[in-house]
Amino acid sequence: MDPHQTELASQWITLLAAGMLVIQLLMVVQRMLLTSIRLFALQSLMLAAIAAIIAFFHNNATHVYVVAVLTLAGKVFFLPWLLNRLVRRIKIDQEIEPLLNSTSSMLLCGALTLLGYIVARPFTSLERLGNNTLGIAITLLLTGFFLMFNRRKAITQVLALLTVENGVMLAAVALTTYGMPLVVELGIFFDVMVAVMVLGILVYRIRETFSSMDVGKLSQLKG
């Protein structure tokens, strides 16, 4: 590959990965559910673009193209449509007060970002396209888990799970061996799709039973 093309591709990957991180931070402080869903779709679009760039500049890696297409179809269109439909059906469009306020959440996410880059530092010398985005991938994982902990509405926790999976796919596609074996990637993708659909059904049932999506209400099911 031409060194100039390699540098250009790496810059685009870094820019898109940074955009994914910015969107993740916006989701941490966002309380409107429909807006959070749109932010997730945009983040997934950037992930699909990264996969497409990797595939194009790495000898047209077919299995990475498959990941890009599945991400585009599943996470940019289908899942956001499904979650939008669910939110409109249950008629609750705003998150309740999180455990930590916005200021505390951003400070903690800043610390998690620093931790992500510290963990990734030993791997930055790898001569791979997009290797400098490992810190971002780790940060997506950490902040995704924090988002699951900090929010109490079930649908926001579903979005947090999806952003964690986006971090895993970013690391797998751009930073290791240009994608895990196709069968593993497909397995992860469809597992997440099924999990989200099952969680969507559970969200609706929680809303019907408790007139709320606060997962804390589940404690009332104790016998």
Is it the case that residue 3 has pLDDT exceeding 60? yes
Domain boundaries, the chain: 3-214
Instruction: Quick: pLDDT tens for 53-103.
Output: 888 877 666 777 888 888 898 889 988 888 888 788 777 666 666 788 888
Query: Is 0.75 topped by the overall pTM?
Result: yes
Instruction: Quick: pLDDT tens for 131-177.
Output: 668 889 899 999 999 988 888 777 788 888 889 888 888 887 766 55
Residue recorded with tokens 């956001």: 80
DSSP string spanning 113-140? HHHHHHHHGGGTTS-STTGGGHHHHHHH
CA-to-CA dists, residue 60 to 33, 53, 71, 135, 162, angstroms: 37, 9, 17, 26, 27
Sign of CA dihedral 75, 79, 81, 87: negative
Residues above pLDDT 70, as percent of the chain: 68
